[in-house]
Amino acid sequence: MPGNSFGTLFKITTWGESHGPAIGLIIDGCPAGLRISEKDIQKELDRRKPGQNALTSPRKEKDKAEILSGIFEGKTTGSPISLLIQNADARSKDYKKLKDLYRPSHADFTYDAKYGFRDHRGGGRASARETAARVAGGAIARKIIPRVTFKTTLISPDMKTIEKIKKEGDSVGGLLECVIQNVPAGLGSPVFEKLDARLAQVMLSIPGVKGFEIGSGFKCVDMKGSEHNDELLVKNGKVMTKTNHAGGIVGGISNGMGIVFRVAFKPTASITKKQQTVDQKGNKKTVKIEGRHDPCIALRALPIVEAMAALVLADEYLIQKTIR
């Protein structure tokens, strides 16, 4: 599969470039009879929308998702759900002078290496704009697993630090922690599609992510088994663990405890400071990136992380219906 789809049964496909007329998505495999409104979707899109505060990109997008198919009289029909989000405020000309340059830590060179050429306007498909489609998809996924709750927090730099770095024309990384509650035990599978393996994939599929860890994460490296093992007990008739080093998943399958994972975001690659680079012909060049960019992409990524997790859980929820 060419990589623009995700999911086995609850399947999202996203399309669209940052500076084309629109972006969008298709959800195929959504069960019939679920109540979904444009408002439900808008709520999630609004959390991600640029231009919300001083620290997010001032690009103005209404980011309004139109439902084009799959929903009839407020309910899903079982047919593919097509959503379209217009690209209202795309200033292609900002990018013209970057046409032949390879911006450091952007996907310019790698796209050329892969495809032989590229749509240079605003990163094309590599743009974070694509993630709006994922957030809309996640809003639908949540309807499959209505009891599940998501809470994501930026646990690294405070707002002041970000503001200061922004003024320097620079950017900074960020660490998000996501806690998911009320996931039933039994979701996921034992080998390649372990629940944590799927979460790792979708988190690393978010632009700018350099690391994923679950439960004890990288700290487990220095722990002993006798410290790390989560002993079991029964509480209110439910099997639980005393500690949760596992992060809610054992052997690739959820155990009913909270799912806890962390995601590391690199600093925004677009900075206004001068950088050395080369152009397509291999000539040395200096680049200073203008335009509208977030100083800390992690700040905008909270609803994206949750959307991706919701897509995985919705898919696994449907898969589990076929197991027993």
- Using CB under 8 A, which of 189, 258, 291, 292 touches its own copies? 189
**Please, what is the minimum distance in Å from the beta carbon of residue 321 to its own copies?**
5
Site for its own copies in 64-103 (CB under 8 A): 66, 68-70, 72, 75, 77-82, 84, 102
| Structural tokens at position 220 | 């487990």
Here the tokens at position 82 are 């097509």
- From residue 85, alpha-carbon distances to 91, 134, 284, 295 in Å are 17, 11, 38, 25
CB closer to its own copies out of 53 and 226: 226
- The footprint of its own copies on residues 108-137 (CB under 8 A) is 109-111, 113-119, 121, 124-126, 130
For position 141 contacting its own copies by CB under 8 A, the verdict is no
Q: How far is the CB of 6 from its own copies (least distance, A)?
A: 4
Number of Cβ within 10 Å of residue 178's Cβ equals: 21
Q: Which stretch binds its own copies (CB under 8 A): 43-51, 57-65, 145-153, 314-322?
A: 314-322
Which residues 192-251 are close enough to bind its own copies by CB under 8 A? 192-194, 196-205, 207, 210-218, 220-234, 237, 239, 241-242, 245-247, 249-251
State the minimum distance, in angstroms, from the CB of residue 62 to its own copies: 17
Per-residue binder mask for its own copies (CB under 8 A), 168-187, x = binder: --xxxxxx--------xxxx
Strand-pair partners of 174: 265
Q: Is 159 in the site for its own copies (CB under 8 A)?
A: no
Angle between helices 297-320 and 130-144 (to 10 degrees): 40
Please choose, from the candidates 26, 23, 1, the residue with its C-alpha nearest in 3D space to the C-alpha of residue 11.
26
Nearer to its own copies, 54 or 233 (CB): 233
Look up tokens 């002078």; give the residue: 97
The CA R_g of the chain, rounded to the nearest whole Å, is 21
Q: Which of 23, 141, 304, 313 is close enough to bind its own copies by CB under 8 A?
A: 23
Query: How near is the Cβ of 46 to its own copies at its closest, in Å?
Result: 23
Would you count residue 104 as binding its own copies (CB under 8 A)? yes
Both ends of the chain: CA-CA distance in Å?
28
Complex with its own copies: residue 179 or 278, whichever CB lies closer: 278
Pick 41 or 107: Cβ nearer its own copies: 107
Among residues 62, 30, 68, 67, which one has the least CA distance to residue 48?
Answer: 62
Cβ proximity to its own copies: between 93 and 218 the closer is: 218
CA–CA distance, 64 with 84 (Å, rounded to integer)? 8
Region class of 256: left (phi > 0), else alpha (psi between -120 and 50), else beta: left
Distance CA 52, CA 300 (A): 10
Residue 56 in the binding site for its own copies (CB under 8 A): no
Q: Is 258 in the site for its own copies (CB under 8 A)?
A: no
Q: Which is nearer to its own copies, 42 or 241 (CB)?
A: 241
Binders of its own copies: how many residues, by CB under 8 A?
Answer: 150
- Are the CB atoms for 189 and 253 separated by under 8 Å? yes
Burial class (CB in 10 A: 0-12, 13-18, 19+), 261: buried
Q: In this chain, which of 90, 259, 268, 310 binds its own copies, going by CB under 8 A?
A: 268
The backbone torsions φ and ψ at residue 318, rounded to the nearest 5 degrees and listed phi first, read -70, -40
Q: Does 38 bind its own copies (CB under 8 A)?
A: no
